Chains A and B, each alone.
Chain A
Amino acid sequence: MTSAAHPVSHHEEAAPVGGKLWNWLTRSLLALVVIMVCVLAVRFVSGLGAVTNMNDGYPWGIWIAYDVVVGSALGAGGFTVAFLTYILNRGEYHPIVRPALLAALFGYIQTGFAVFFDIGRYWEFWHLFVPKYAQVNSALFEVAVCVAAYTLVLLIEFMPIVMERFGWEKPRRRLNRILFVFIALGVLLPTMHQSSLGTVLVVLGPQLHPLYQTNLLPALFLVSCIGMGLAAVSIEGTMSSIALKRPLERQLLGKLLGIGIVLAALFLVARFVDVAARGALPTAFELSWPALMFWVEAVLFGAPIVLLFTAAARRRAQRLFVGAVSLALGGILYRLSAYLIAYQTGAGWHYFPSLGELFVTIGLVAFEILAIIIAIRVLPILPTASDAAAHAHLIERTTR
């Protein structure tokens, strides 16, 4: 296996999983997508107010806070694994490059759909990409342009997988020769818009609770999204190993979450130092939802550090899973808090997602899972079983 030490070159060792596409799981997911389409029909005919609980006090609901802000952060595994594999040249992460890329691609497609459903004047969405309308001081402009560019980059990065499946060797070789440009862009762009998703909140000023309003928002969003991405890749790895009855790549997940807990620690230190330095710490002891969320998030980010502190702990499947879930939840709640719970817009305003909003969010997630299931069944994404075993040895070697 000469190619094992060279991460880029052993794509052949991935293969379609095969199997039936039409089973109870895909049928249920499709049903959820159909329900979403029905809700969206009402939304497009009768307006946002007909299906959502959004209002002038809470003009953004879960379509933005969950589907856009959380959804894209959970796809951050794509750029993180690409960074480890291609930029730091760590071959041991190679088997998860494609699954992480796939999750990122559909995570971002979900984000794009959510934006389209959410913006009131969706037929004008192209204004975001025309210089005539561009407003470069807006963090949201940066997010929109950057997310769109990254989704394109993800599609290009994904093309070799499709070309490999259909045996288009010539275009594949050509694309591979310039792929390094897209891989570099594919690392840069998400660091830009994931941090800008934090900057978006800075202009809300005093409307954001002092525990959350800080100039460190972009840094906190960036650090936590990398942790979330790594956690999501680990959870997906565990799920697929259970679903496909394959051995769990414990060493690899252990290494990923080893990085994850460093980021969790970084996040917690930055968060507490920042809150204390701004003199906002006393508000953490008041009886309020933002204060409660602040502590819940701290526990969720702290738990994986404790659970996975030693290398021995990072070899235990159960701990890895619980740690990853805790880390992902920490990042999810931090985002929901910053965008909804800590946003205090004045007396008299309330927001809780309507059933219609929930059905759309559930439908988008179902669509994403459905697409991923179909993709791993028909495209060479997961490493072949024999390659996975060989890979375990490689990790064994490089870990020492």
Chain B
Amino acid sequence: MLTRRGLIKVAAGSATAVVAARAGEAEAREAKKMPEKALGLLFDGTLCIGCKACMAACKTENGMPPEPNPILEDTSDAYWDAPLDISGKTLNVIKAYRDDAATRKDEVAEGFAFTKYSCYHCVDPSCVSACPVSAMTKDPHTGIVSYSVEACIGCRYCVAACPFGVPRFTFDLAFPKISKCQLCEHRLAEGSYAACAEVCPTGATLFGHVADLKAEIARRRSLQPGTPTLFPRGRVDGDDRYEGLAGAYVDHVYGENEIGGTQVLHLSAVPFELLNKPPLPSEPPARVAETLQHGIYHFLIAPVVFLLGLTGLAWRNMRDAQREGGEA
């Protein structure tokens, strides 16, 4: 007959074994693939002239409120929309790198360069994996990562999880929400496309299918810097093209491999570290976390086995006590 101690050992042992076996054998969660018809943006810093037309169009088309420059807040100059960063009120910002006199465009020393801050629409987004109530979702066809205010509970796990620091929260509102670029999903339905790309006068922000954008990136990178070439404007598959000079790109397409790849890709002539783009591993943190979570909770086998063991022992011990103690 099994002794009580033996029972405990069996129960504890089997539970541990199941957990260990699951954790050991559990294969990594399937890698997410870029949807075939994935939509995205190409931002080419060498074409950006810093006009911020994209910022104004983004505000208008998404109904976002103006945000004065925080330095000018509470002064008589706090009238115009001049955000320094994306925020609960701003989904898209053009920022500049500057060195010293900053007289030479797209050079590191004494130079300046522009870059765009907005959602990257990751292939394997951390925000979607983190959200406990499915408020962040990735469209299986377009790959657009969108936010449902109707579902959101305001826990801000997405804000914490995103390695790009994209989702922002309206801390200043009594009835707050998350703000993030949704690639003008609402305008796609109207046959239009991302407002930032639509208004960009130089094609620095270009809209299109990621596959086409990647082909365009390969074309630009294959050109000798300074070579005259045609640049598409608005959308990569459109007719609007103009002649410009190929940029002297650094050997890195930001977004190509970062946390498993993104649908918004950046070209730049200055290193991305100088543009405050965080260096990120190619392994998506969402995949690491889900592999771990699925390993522990695989079909709930381990918790159920553990619970059965616990229930059996608790039942036995309490029954013995009731019998011998004569009290319920």
Q: Which of A45, A52, A179, A202 neighbours the largest number of chain B CB atoms within 10 Å of its CB?
A: A202
Q: Pick from A3, A59, A124, A133 the residue with the most CB of B within 10 Å.
A: A59
B293 touching A57, Cβ below 8 Å: no
The 8 Å CB contact of A185, one of B135, B160, B165, B307, is B307
Cβ–Cβ contact B163 & A207, under 8 A: yes
Which of A81-89, A249-257, A286-294, A315-323 lies at the binding interface? Answer: A81-89
B161 at the interface (CB under 8 A from A): yes
Please determine whether B314 and A142 come into contact, CB atoms closer than 8 angstroms.
no
Chain B 109-141 interface 0/1 with A at a Cβ cutoff of 8 Å (1 = within): 000000000000000001001111111000000
Asked if A187 is at the interface of the complex by the 8 Å CB criterion, the answer is yes
Docked Cα-Cα span, A290 to B264, in Å, equals: 33
Tell me, yes or no, whether A361 is within 8 Å of chain B by CB: no
* Known A47-B174, A120-B154; contact A173-B328, beta-carbon cutoff 8 A: yes
| Alpha-carbon distance A195/B126, docked complex (angstroms) | 20
Is A168 an interface residue when CB atoms closer than 8 A count as contact? no
A-chain residues with CB within 8 Å of residue B173 when the two chains form the complex: 47, 49
Tell me whether A60 and B126 are in contact (CB under 8 A).
no
Kindly list chain B residues whose C-beta atoms are within 8 Å of the C-beta of A52.
171
What is the number of contacts between chain A and chain B, taking CB atoms within 8 Å? Answer: 217
Chain B 285-305, CB-CB to A under 8 Å as 1, else 0, gives: 110111011101100000100
Tell me how far the C-beta of B65 lies from the nearest C-beta in chain A, rounded to whole angstroms. 15
Contact indicator A343/B320 (Cβ below 8 Å): no
In the complex, per-residue mask of B253-287: 1 if CB is within 8 Å of any chain A CB, else 0: 00000010000000000000000101011000110
CB < 8 Å: which of B133, B163, B259, B280 contacts A141?
Answer: B133
The interface stretch among A7-15, A19-27, A262-270, A274-282 is A7-15
Option from B132, B276, B292 in Cβ contact (under 8 Å) with A347? B276
Contact status A120-B307, CB under 8 Å: no
Of the residues B151, B163, B176, B325, contact of A120 by C-beta under 8 Å: B176
Known: A188-B306, A203-B161. A49 touches B172 (CB 8 A): yes
Could you say which residues of chain A place their CB within 8 Å of the CB of B229? none
Q: Please tell me if A54 contacts chain B, counting CB pairs below 8 Å.
A: yes
A119 in contact with B154 given A45-B174, A56-B165 (CB within 8 Å) = yes
A205 at the interface (CB under 8 A from B): yes
- Min Cβ gap B279→A in Å is 8
- Check if A140 is an interface residue, CB within 8 A of chain B: yes
Interface size class of B (residues with CB under 8 A): 35 or more
B230 interface residue (CB < 8 Å to A): no
Given A6-B325, A144-B132, A207-B163: A192 and B317 within 8 A (CB)? no
Interface contact A139-B317, CB-CB below 8 Å:
no
The proximity string for A residues 78-122 relative to B, scoring 1 for CB distances below 8 Å and 0 otherwise, is 000000001111000000000000000000000000000011111
The reply to whether B297 and A8 contact each other, CB–CB distance below 8 Å, is: no
Residues of B within 8 A of A240 (CB): none
Is A7 within 8 A of B134, CB to CB? no
Residues of A151-204 at the interface with B, using a CB-CB cut-off of 8 Å, are 172-173, 176-177, 179-181, 183-185, 187-188, 191-192, 195-196, 199-200, 202-204
The answer to whether A141 touches B132 (Cβ under 8 A) is yes
B171 close to A135 (CB less than 8 A) = no
Residues of chain A contacted by B313 (CB below 8 angstroms): 86-87, 89, 184
- Known interface pairs A121-B153, A121-B175, A142-B297. Does A203 touch B126 (Cβ–Cβ under 8 Å)? yes
Task: Answer whether residue A285 sits at the interface, using C-beta atoms and an 8 A cutoff.
Answer: no
Partner of A138, one of B156, B157, B314, B322: B157
Which residues of B in the span 141-169 have a Cβ within 8 Å of any Cβ on A? 151-157, 159-161, 163, 165, 168-169
**Interchain CB contact (< 8 A) of A6 among B126, B134, B289, B320:** B320
Contact B156 A60 (CB under 8 A): yes
Chain A residues lying within 8 Å of B157, measured Cβ to Cβ, are 138, 140, 200
User: Is A137 an interface residue when CB atoms closer than 8 A count as contact?
Assistant: yes
The yes or no answer to B311 lying at the interface (CB within 8 A) is: yes
> In the bound complex, do residue A205 and residue B163 qualify as a contact, i.e. CB atoms below 8 Å apart?
yes
A91 closest partner in B (C-beta): B321
B318 close to chain A: CB less than 8 A: yes
B289 & A139 in contact (Cβ 8 Å cutoff): yes
Interface status of B100 (Cβ within 8 A of chain A): no
Docked Cα-Cα span, A203 to B281, in Å, equals 13
Residue of A nearest to B152 (CB): A121
Please report which residues of chain A, range 343-379, place their CB below 8 angstroms from some CB of chain B when the two chains form the complex: 343, 345-347
CA distance A128 to B154 in the complex (A): 12
Q: Does B187 contact A (CB under 8 A)?
A: no
Contact of A218 among B152, B155, B156, B296 (CB under 8 A): B296
Contact (Cβ within 8 A) A192 B303: yes
In the complex, the chain B residue whose C-beta lies closest to that of A183 is B314
User: Given the known A-B contacts A121-B175, A128-B132, A345-B165, are A202 and B285 also in contact in the complex, defined by CB atoms under 8 Å?
Assistant: yes
Known: A137-B129, A199-B289. A7 touches B321 (CB 8 A): yes
CB distance from B53 to the nearest CB of A (A): 25
Most chain B CB atoms below 10 A, which of A8, A56, A140, A180: A56
Most B CB within 10 A of own CB, among A52, A180, A196, A215? A180
Shortest distance between the CB of A64 and any CB in chain B (Å): 9
Nearest CB of chain B from residue A380's CB, rounded to whole Å:
14
Cβ of A247 under 8 Å from chain B: no
Q: Is the CB of B130 within 8 A of A55?
A: no
Partner of B293, one of A9, A142, A179, A181: A142
* CB atoms of A127 and B126 under 8 A apart: no
> Do B296 and A87 touch (CB < 8 A)?
no
A54 to B313, CA, bound (A): 46
Instruction: Kindly identify which residue among B87, B152, B171 contacts A124, using a CB–CB cutoff of 8 Å.
Output: B152
B310 surroundings in chain A (CB, below 8 A) = 87, 183-184, 187-188
Q: Which residues on the A side are within 8 Å of B133 (C-beta)?
A: 124, 127-128, 133-135, 141
Interface string of A203-223 (1 = CB under 8 A from B): 111110000000100100000
Instruction: Report the 7 A-B pairs with minimum CB-CB distance, sorted nearest first.
Output: A120-B154, A9-B325, A205-B285, A49-B171, A121-B154, A141-B132, A8-B321
- What are 11 inter-chain pairs, A to B, with CB distance below 8 A? A8-B318, A46-B174, A49-B171, A56-B87, A87-B8, A119-B155, A128-B132, A135-B134, A184-B311, A206-B285, A207-B160
Interface residues of A (CB under 8 A from B): 2-3, 5-11, 44-50, 52, 54-57, 59-60, 86-89, 118-122, 124-125, 127-128, 133-135, 137-142, 144, 172-173, 176-177, 179-181, 183-185, 187-188, 191-192, 195-196, 199-200, 202-207, 215, 218, 343, 345-347
Give 11 A-B pairs besides A59-B159, A127-B153 with Cβ atoms closer than 8 angstroms. A3-B327, A47-B170, A60-B160, A88-B8, A89-B317, A124-B133, A180-B311, A195-B296, A204-B126, A345-B165, A347-B276
